[in-house]
Amino acid sequence: MPLFPIDFDDRKEVGRTGEKVSAIGLGTWAIRDYSRAEEVLVYAIEHGLDLIDTAEMYDHGRAEELVGRVVRRVGRDKVFITTKMLPEHLVSRDTVLKAARASLKRLGVDAVDLFLIHWPNYTMSISEQVRNFEAVYLEGLARYIGVSNFDRSELEEAIHATRKAEIVVDQVHYSILNRDIEVDLLPYAIEAGITIQAYTPLERGAVAHNKHVRKIAAKIGKTPIQVALNFLISRPRVVAIPKTENMNHLIEIMGALGWRLSPQDLEYLEKNVNPHNPNTRRFKT
């Protein structure tokens, strides 16, 4: 049996909000060709990939401006926008709101769907920075809030720190080649109703060269990229956010939806691709 129950839903709930987004979204980090990226994002949204991830630090705000152009083309109601705030802005409520409004201006929207703390500010307590950050929700600048790059203990502290908002997402590095979160963070997130957004899910293409991933791909008639993404979205509460500027690559990514790896293939990959240490526990429903 696989370590986790198989999630067959191609639309995943955001926290416990009742709202769902596509199990695969698209990121906007390190874009080289903004014109091509815009066309790819528009096509993706028009074909059901409604989750777009960005951040103020991506190319000094240019990525947020790109998302803004995309939103104007497809319509605000067609996109679930996630953006992220640098930890240096978390020192006060005022600095949080100033940074948030700058992001919204670049995005050309009145509010984002989800605002995340990009990573913890290690000069202050988790509870203090989260309470300052909560202002984006209280002021109507974000419908939901969450965190990024928080480990299990930091996430737990953040959850308990909020007053009126709820932490609904933790965006972290997770791929079939990097499964560290399966030991502690992912089981906790599943139990707590937190959505995991997996960034760098393709390890910049490295997943396609793994012999075990390639073996399963050949067996089932899929590409290694599709197998690697499907492995992630088969996990409860996990959404994958790869990045591409290539239309053919986008089509390949979209081909990871609409099916799931079998329990036997999942178990094979778990045992042979970056296997865990012996202390990894099997998740119990």
The string of pLDDT tens digits covering residues 70-120 is 999 999 999 999 999 999 999 999 999 999 999 999 999 999 999 999 999
Domain-embedded: residue 281: no
Percent of the chain with pLDDT over 70: 96
Domain-embedded: residue 68: yes
The per-residue pLDDT for range 132-144, each reduced to its tens digit, is: 999 999 999 999 9
Domain-embedded: residue 280: no
CA 53 to chain centre: 7
Cβ contacts of 221 within 8 Å, gap of 6 or more: none
CATH number of the domain encompassing residue 136: 3.20.20.100
Return the ∠ at Cα 178 (arms to 84 and 120), rounded to 5°. Answer: 30
Of 280, 278, 178, 264, which is closest to residue 215 (Cα–Cα)? 264
Domain-embedded: residue 277: no
Domain-embedded: residue 282: no
What's the rounded mean pLDDT across residues 240-266?
Answer: 99
pTM (global) more than 0.85 = yes
Task: Name the domain count of the chain.
Answer: 1
The per-residue pLDDT for range 13-25, each reduced to its tens digit, is: 999 999 999 999 9
165 Rama class: left (phi>0) / alpha (psi -120 to 50) / beta? beta
pLDDT at residue 280, rounded to an integer: 40
Of 141, 137, 187, 188, which is closest to residue 166 (Cα–Cα)? 137
The per-residue pLDDT for range 141-179, each reduced to its tens digit, is: 999 999 999 999 999 999 999 999 999 999 999 999 999
What's the mean per-residue pLDDT of the chain? Answer: 96
Domain-embedded: residue 2: no
Cβ contacts of 171 within 8 Å, gap of 6 or more: 53, 82, 84, 116, 146, 147, 148, 149, 196, 197, 198, 199, 241
249, containing H or E segment: helix 247-254
Is it the case that residue 232 has pLDDT exceeding 60?
A: yes
The answer to whether 199 is a known catalytic residue is: no
pLDDT at residue 275, rounded to an integer: 62
Per annotation, catalytic residue among 34, 58, 122, 174: 58
- Pairing mode, if any, of strands 51-53 and 112-117? unpaired
At 281, the pLDDT band (50, 70, 90 cuts) reads very low
- For the chain, helix, strand, coil in percent to 5 are 45, 15, 35
Domain-embedded: residue 83: yes
Place of tokens 């009126």: 164
Is it the case that residue 211 has pLDDT exceeding 70?
A: yes
pLDDT at residue 276, rounded to an integer: 53
Is it the case that residue 279 has pLDDT exceeding 70?
A: no
Take residue 14 and report the two structure tokens written for it.
């955001």
Domain-embedded: residue 1: no
Range of the domain at 242: 11-272
